[in-house]
């Protein structure tokens, strides 16, 4: 059971301090819904900005000094370099403090963290995006990336739902997505609302009604746990294999580098082994979502 341990580790002097955020400036604040705001940031250091690279699906830790740090997906795609966008739902202490940010304010950023969507392996595939509520944020990154590289991918369908019309984010994007001829966009809300011209119904039910073919198709989904549970069931009923379903997880995180012990699911750490997992991978992990 016990191998001889490796030589005592030392600090090699060149390793960067993984806890030290880079300083960025808020360039724009977009009020998405009554409790979601999107923040666009630019790293202050020009060289850092030039060298910054990430892949769709990766995470960032936003620091509001004095309030603390919290984890969000980078929801602008790497194909759009003018800013990094993060969407923040007001829920706890740090997110409430973040909601007070104004353009010009300073913020800390540790990014990129974690793995990414397998956007290269998805080339040539049809995609079905299924986003619920704030779960649309990581979908947006990959969707915009694919729209920017449209020729590399097959048919694209987006199913985006929220409780009410007022709970849908990304108004400008939605307008564009609905207009586009090279993708199909379906919006849904939980209960009828005046003036609503789209679907009414829970996401898994609308998905079943749309009945996308699993043929050469991969489904990408993110949303609240209850929606994910029934969406996975609906996808399996439609004939999607677990390898054809990709999701991205959220957990409470602190370090973001696989040490602090909060986000593990058995021996997998959402911050470094994830946040992106296939349903096949999830099925092999312990049941602790």
Partner 1 sequence: MAMNAQSKFVSRDALSEFLAELSARFRVWAPRREGMEGAGAVMYRPFDQAAGVELDKKPTESAKRVLFPPAEALFRFRRETDGGLSLESPPDPGPTLIFGLPPCDARGFLIFDPVYAGSGTAGRAQDTYYLRRRSKTVLIARACSRVLSTCFCHWVGGGPAGSEGADVLALEADDGFVLEAVTPAGAELLEGKALRPAGDKAVKAAEQSRASAQKNMLPAPGISEAPEALRRRFDDAPFWRDEAAHCLSCGACTYLCPTCYCFNMTDEGAGTSGIRLRSWDACMAPLFTLEASGHNPRPDKAARLKNRIGHKFSYYPSLHGQRFACVGCGRCIKSCPSGVDIRRVVTDALGRETASAGAVPGKEKRHA
Nearer of residues 50 and 65 to partner 1, judged by Cβ: 65
271 binds partner 1 (CB under 8 A): yes
Q: Which H helix or E strand runs over 177?
A: helix 171-179
Nearer to partner 1, 3 or 46 (CB): 3
Of 32 and 250, which has the nearer Cβ to partner 1? 250
Stretch that binds partner 1, among 6-14, 48-56, 168-176, 231-239 (CB under 8 A): 6-14
CB contact at 8 A, 246 and 228: no
DSSP 167-205: G---HHHHHHHHH-SSSEEEEEESS--TT--SEES-HHH
Site size toward partner 1 (CB under 8 A) is 58
Answer whether 134's CB lies under 8 Å from 70's CB.
Answer: no
Alpha carbons within 13 angstroms on the beta-carbon side of residue 69 total 18
- Residue 165 interacts with partner 1 (CB under 8 A): yes or no: no
Specify which residues 186 forms β-bridges with: 159
- Which range touches partner 1 (CB under 8 A), out of 148-156, 174-182, 194-202, 248-256? 248-256
Q: Which is nearer to partner 1, 80 or 252 (CB)?
A: 252
Q: Using CA atoms, how far apart are residues 255 and 250, in angstroms rounded to an integer?
A: 14
Query: For strand 245-248 and strand 276-278, is the pairing parallel, antiparallel, or unpaired?
Result: antiparallel
DSSP at 154? -
From 5-13, 47-55, 78-86, 187-195, span contacting partner 1 (CB under 8 A): 5-13
Binding of residue 34 to partner 1 (CB under 8 A) = no
CA distances, 69 to each of 18, 44, 254 (Å): 14, 18, 7
User: Residue from 269, 275, 279, 282 that binds partner 1 (CB under 8 A)?
Assistant: 269
> Would you tell me which residues interact with partner 1 (CB under 8 A)?
1-3, 5-6, 8-12, 15-21, 23, 63, 65-69, 91-92, 95, 104, 106, 108, 113-115, 224-225, 250-252, 254-255, 257-262, 264-267, 269, 271-273, 286-289
């Amino acid at each position: 059971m016990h191998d001889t341990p490796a030589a005592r580790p030392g600090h090699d002097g060149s390793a960067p301090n993984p806890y030290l955020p880079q300083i960025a400036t808020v360039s724009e604040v977009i009020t998405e819904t009554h409790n979601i705001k999107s923040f666009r940031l630019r790293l202050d250091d020009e060289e850092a900005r030039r060298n910054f690279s990430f892949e769709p699906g990766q995470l960032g830790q936003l620091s509001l000094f004095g309030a603390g740090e919290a984890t969000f997906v980078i929801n602008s795609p790497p194909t759009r370099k003018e800013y990094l966008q993060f969407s923040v739902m007001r829920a706890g202490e740090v997110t409430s403090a973040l909601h007070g940010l104004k353009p010009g304010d300073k913020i800390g950023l540790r990014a990129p963290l974690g793995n990414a969507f397998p956007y290269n392996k998805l080339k040539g595939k049809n995609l079905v995006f299924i986003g619920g509520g704030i779960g649309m944020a990581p979908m947006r990154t990959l969707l915009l990336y694919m729209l920017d590289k449209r020729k590399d991918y097959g048919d694209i369908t987006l199913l985006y739902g929220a409780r009410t019309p007022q709970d849908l984010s990304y108004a400008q994007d939605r307008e564009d997505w609905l207009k586009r001829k090279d993708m199909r966009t379906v919006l849904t809300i939980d209960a009828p609302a005046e003036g609503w011209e789209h679907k009414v119904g829970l996401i898994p039910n609308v998905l079943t009604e749309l009945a996308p073919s699993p043929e050469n198709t991969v489904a990408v989904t993110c949303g609240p746990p209850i929606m994910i549970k029934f969406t996975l069931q609906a996808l399996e009923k439609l004939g999607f294999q677990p390898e054809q379903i990709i999701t991205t997880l959220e957990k409470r995180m602190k370090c973001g580098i696989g040490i602090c012990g909060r986000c593990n699911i058995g021996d997998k750490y959402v911050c470094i082994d994830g946040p992106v997992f296939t349903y096949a991978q999830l099925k092999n992990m312990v049941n602790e979502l």
